[in-house]
């Protein structure tokens, strides 16, 4: 991003104290406005954000959180639970001075943005994933969303690719049995690309792959913005028969080869921003 924006890239150092506490230092002190870019994959990453914000407390900050962890805790689902995504925003808010902005990429629930005290925008990397799918040279592919929640993303991907789209619908067969199938489109003999915001344990995608393969899909590809990939997720996906996993670099993983830097750089330049 620094290269795209022709700006300095400040060198930061990160260490862990013997008792486990985190230490951050900006070695080359930035001048003027700063952009802090940090995904929150682990709890420690949240501390890094707070430390960097504290270092830059006198500056106007654009805070970019490409993968916003805890965004699935956007509601109080059971009494006695916290709304963790809101708690994180509230911890960050005191550092956001006038003119500060927050950016996320395909945050799981955009309602989380309303908890920030400054303008906050969610950027959409679906078109970047679709561009990569285009290079696969698939013939007449079908875009599938693994659930209703991912339908909006599936529709955007389908319109970028000029493809048909559908979603997997659950039908309850009995108290214990559920079947899943594309709502309308027959996938027999067709290449399928499943689009979702993230792959965490891989359970959702592995189920979707198996179902689509059983229903006669030729090849099944996955396109997900955030490759969280906990535990043996990638093994589960390949065991289910996935052809390839396409993902962005919001999280630093091997499959994350599609850079979101141009998307964020455009927003920071004010081309698509708030």
**List of residues contacting ligand R5P (CB under 6 A):** 146, 149-150, 196-205
Give the number of other Cβ atoms within 10 Å of residue 234's Cβ. Answer: 18
Q: How is 116-171 classified by DSSP, letter by letter?
A: SSS-EEEE--HHHHHHHHHTT--SS-EEEESSGGGHHHHHHHHHHHT-EEEEEEEE
Nearer to ligand R5P, 204 or 240 (CB): 204
H-run or E-run covering 35? strand 34-37
Nearer to ligand R5P, 187 or 208 (CB): 208
Nearer to ligand R5P, 53 or 146 (CB): 146
> Catalytic one among 75, 148, 170, 214?
170
Q: Under a CB-based contact definition with an 8 Å cutoff, are residues 171 and 179 in contact?
A: yes
DSSP-assigned beta bridge partners for residue 22: 16
Residues 143, 145, 151: CA angle, nearest 5 degrees: 105
CB of 90 to ligand R5P, least distance (A): 23
CB of 106 to ligand R5P, least distance (A): 9
Nearer to ligand R5P, 63 or 154 (CB): 154
Question: What angle do helix axes 43-55 and 84-92 make, rounded to 10 degrees?
Answer: 20
CB of 264 to ligand R5P, least distance (A): 21
Query: Among the residues of 182-270, which ranges form H helices?
Result: 203-214, 233-239, 261-268
Active site residue 75: no
CB of 197 to ligand R5P, least distance (A): 5
Helices H / strands E in the chain, number of each:
8, 13
Query: CA 66, 72, 76, 80 torsion: positive or negative?
Result: negative
CB of 203 to ligand R5P, least distance (A): 4
The residues annotated with a catalytic role in the active site are: 170
């Amino acid at each position: 991003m620094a290269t795209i924006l022709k700006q300095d890239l400040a060198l930061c150092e990160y260490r862990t104290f013997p008792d486990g506490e985190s230490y951050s230092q900006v070695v080359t002190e930035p001048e003027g406005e700063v952009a802090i870019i940090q995904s929150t994959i682990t709890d420690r990453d949240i501390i890094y954000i707070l430390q960097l914000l504290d270092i830059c407390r006198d500056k106007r900050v654009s805070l970019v959180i490409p993968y916003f962890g805890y965004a699935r805790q956007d509601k109080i689902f059971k009494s006695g639970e916290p709304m963790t995504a809101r708690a994180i925003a509230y911890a960050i808010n005191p550092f956001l001075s006038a003119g500060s902005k927050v950016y996320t990429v395909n945050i799981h629930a955009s309602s989380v943005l309303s908890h920030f005290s400054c303008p906050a925008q969610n950027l959409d990397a679906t078109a970047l994933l679709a561009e990569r799918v285009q290079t696969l040279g698939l013939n007449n592919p079908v875009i599938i969303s693994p659930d209703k929640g991912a339908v909006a993303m599936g529709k955007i991907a389908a319109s970028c690719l000029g493809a048909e789209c559908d979603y997997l619908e659950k039908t309850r067969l009995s108290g214990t049995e559920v079947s899943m199938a594309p709502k309308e489109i027959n996938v027999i003999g067709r290449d399928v690309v499943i689009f979702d915001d993230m792959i965490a344990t891989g359970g959702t995608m592995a189920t979707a792959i198996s179902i689509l393969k059983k229903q006669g899909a030729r090849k099944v590809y996955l396109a997900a913005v955030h490759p969280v990939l906990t535990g043996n997720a990638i093994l589960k996906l390949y065991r289910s028969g996935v052809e390839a996993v396409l993902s962005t670099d919001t999280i630093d993983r091997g499959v994350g080869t599609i850079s979101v830097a141009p998307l964020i750089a455009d927003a920071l330049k004010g081309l698509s921003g708030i």
